[in-house]
Structure formats: structure tokens, C-alpha cells
Structure 1
Amino acid sequence: MSANTASAQLLRVTQALQETLELSIDLNADAERLAELASQLETVNEQLSAHQGEKIMPYFNMEYGDQLREALPYGPATGRYNAYSPDMDVRNNGDRVVSDIRFGKRHEGPPNSVHGGITSLVFDQLLAFACLRNNTPGYTASLQVSYRKPLPLHKALRFETWLEDCGERKVIARGECRDGDELLATSEGLFIRII
């Protein structure tokens, strides 16, 4: 099987696991049925365990081109091959990074809203992508997120990130999350450039 075919099938596995995580949140059955489901999942985990080894693609992919999401294909915030990552697209818009993201039940904090830690996780990665997009990759030194309103689940939200200031060693990136025209959250990150 070619690497492209294998990655396509890995994406199917990831999407199936993503659906499993979503369905598990509101699971309601009697103890006997839950025990049966647990046994079935344990069997699947044994099968998955038998195929552990080197990843199909590297954890950090230097050949991402214009597809920033492919830079970290297994990352928890934006990784296409991580079942915990929310549904999203990530695209370049000039020197900015724009993402439409739909969070699911697995990201819930307050009722029907995204957990603040998940919002921070996603902002951290998208701010880093803005640095990467502008050829100033770096490590996060600090991250600040201001929450104005709860981020709703199951709705396409727009994240936009950009560089605010770029020094020899330090880069400041900013971002915002909107529901249509309504500003829900803002973020600022300080990144130390990789030299």
C-alpha cells in the first residue's frame, strides 16, 4: 500500500475514533450493555496496539507547503490525524492565518460551550502557525487569552492570527475568534524564534 493510500486510511481511522469520542460523551445504557461496549473497544485497542511503530508521516512535517495544518499532522490542536483535534480548515490569507473551526462535545467545558483550555490550546497552535507562515518559527514563551463570551459548540467559528511585532529573537502574534461579526475571544502570544 502506498504512503498516500495509507495516510488516507489513517485519516478514516482517525475520523472513526473522533466519532467514537463524540458518541461516548452522551452514552446512556445499562451496565450490561456498557460492559459489552467496553469489551468491543478493548478488542479494537488490542488490534491498534498490534500495529504500533514509526508514524506513517513525521510528527513535524517540513514539507507542508501552503497547508499549515500538515506541519503537525498529529498535533492535539490542529492535527488532522489526531481524533481529539476539532474539525477545521486552516488557510493562508496574505500574511495571516484564517481557520474555520467547529468544536464538538469532546471539547465542552461550560454547558454547550468550548472549554477555555481548549480555546487556549487552539490559539497557541494558530499563533505559532502565523509565525511559521511568516518565516519566524518559534517556541511559545507566554500566551494570554481574553474570553469575552462563551464559544459555542457545533458552530463554525472563525479564528484569525497574525504577527504584531517581529524582533531578532522575539515575535509577538495576536489572534481573535469570531462568531460572524461577534468577537468571542482574543489572544496574544510571545514566541522565541528558532535560530
Structure 2
Amino acid sequence: MLEFTTEDLSVEDIERQQAIYEPLAISVRELVDATIRTEVDAETVAAVKADIDAATARLRSKQIDGAFGVKRTPSGRSISWGNAVIGLRNPSAPPLVIHRDEDGRRWTDFHLGAPYEGPPGHVHGGVSALVLDHVLGEAASPDNKPRFTGSITVRYLRACPLGPLHAEAQITRVEGVKTFVAGYISDAEGITVEAEGVFITPRWLRD
């Protein structure tokens, strides 16, 4: 059974922590992009590396054990700040912001730059699958109770360019503990990647 810890966090607590840690993650995302694309000389690279090593040591002076996990407030709000797709404290996350429509559709507009490259100038296929797995999973869990990926099929219709993108997903049917979802990623010219998934209600959430 997966563990979701509950913390007595107020709205003010969450906003305070977000104000502290989100700007750090944004700066590190910029650092990753700059590291990939820089053409400065070796002396500058060595000096920057020393600065980064020193900053890393300062951050490691006090940290949690293991991963961030998922924290839930007593009100039911989910805090997934370490998540690889939506984590606002995770510099490897784009991060996606998921929007929810009343008809059950889940969608997001996002940007993927140099850190997500596979084929030159285009998104790595595994990154596309990662994004779709998450968006489909969000659509499969409209009641804020998690459904976990049982299977996902991804079809790459054409190369997905780096830059501004859109993703969305919606439930197609439900059969017992199985929720079937379909979705896609698109750019300005149309759909680039499609996916269908089956998401399972975990045993500990079944009636």
C-alpha cells in the first residue's frame, strides 16, 4: 500500500512554503537549461561548478530522508511538490498545471524546452509518455481518489516539437475497478501524440 502522509497545514502554511521553495526550483530549471546551451569558456564553467557545489552543500545541510512523497492536508488538499510532472519543487518537472472542466476533461498548456529533447528540436518520446500518463491519470481520478496506471498505449503520430504544447484527457468508460481514459498532446498544427490508458482503483479504496 502506498503511503500518503497527512499534515496539519493551513492555507497560510502552504502559501508560505510555496513562496520559499518554488522560486528556487524555477532558478534551478533555468540553470539546467543554461547548462545545456552555454558556450562559455572552461574557466567560467569551473567557477560556476564551484558555486553550484557550494550551494548544493548549503541545501543539503538540512533535508528530509528519501523522497518528498504526497502530503494531504486535513481538508483533503494534495501536496505533490516532488512529482516529476507537476512538482513545483522539482526542477525536472516542466511543471504542468492541470485544469479541470465540469465535464470531466483535464487539460494543460505547457512549455518543453532544451532539457526535454530527444530527436533534434523535438520532445523525447519518453517525456511525451510521461506527460500523457500523468494527464490521463488526473482524468481517471475525478473524485480526488487516485487510480493507478494499469496499462497505457501511446501512438506517436508525428514528431512533437519543443516549445508550447497542449495536453488533455477524458474518461471514455468505467468497468468496475477499471477506468478507461483517452488523451493527446498537440501543438499549433494539431495532435502529435495520442494515448489510451486503463487505470485501476487500488484495493484499499474499493468499497
TM-score of the pair, normalised by structure 2: 0.82
- Is 1:103 equivalent to 2:112 in the alignment? yes
1:174 corresponds, among 151, 175, 182, to 182
Number of residue equivalences:
190
Where does structure 2 lack aligned partners over 5 or more consecutive residues?
1-11
Contact 1:87 1:103 survives alignment (8 Å): no
1:46 corresponds, among 50, 57, 73, to 57
Identity of aligned residues (%): 24
Separation in structure 1 between the aligned mates of residue 75 and residue 192 of structure 2, nearest angstrom:
30
Task: Describe the superposition over 1:12-42 as per-residue Cα deviations: whole angstroms up to 9, x where unpaired.
Answer: 1111111111111112233222211111110
Quote the residue 2:18 is aligned against: 7
1:129-140 equivalences under 5 Å are 129-134=138-143, 137-140=146-149
Deviation at 1:169, TM superposition (A): 1.6
Quote the residue 2:8 is aligned against: none
Higher mean alpha-carbon deviation, 130-139 vs 96-105, is at 130-139
Other structure's SS at 1:99 match: strand
- Is 1:59 equivalent to 2:69 in the alignment? yes
2:132 corresponds, among 123, 128, 133, to 123
59 and 123 in structure 1: CA distance in 2 versus 1, 3 angstrom threshold: same
- Is 1:149 equivalent to 2:149 in the alignment? no
Deviation at 1:59, TM superposition (A): 2.8
162 and 3 in structure 1: CA distance in 2 versus 1, 3 angstrom threshold: closer
Task: Describe the superposition over 1:71-127 as per-residue Cα deviations: whole angstroms up to 9, x where unpaired.
Answer: 522210122221111143310112010111110111111111110001111111111
Other structure's SS at 2:25 match: helix
Separation in structure 2 between the aligned mates of residue 128 and residue 154 of structure 1, nearest angstrom:
23
106 and 65 in structure 1: CA distance in 2 versus 1, 3 angstrom threshold: farther
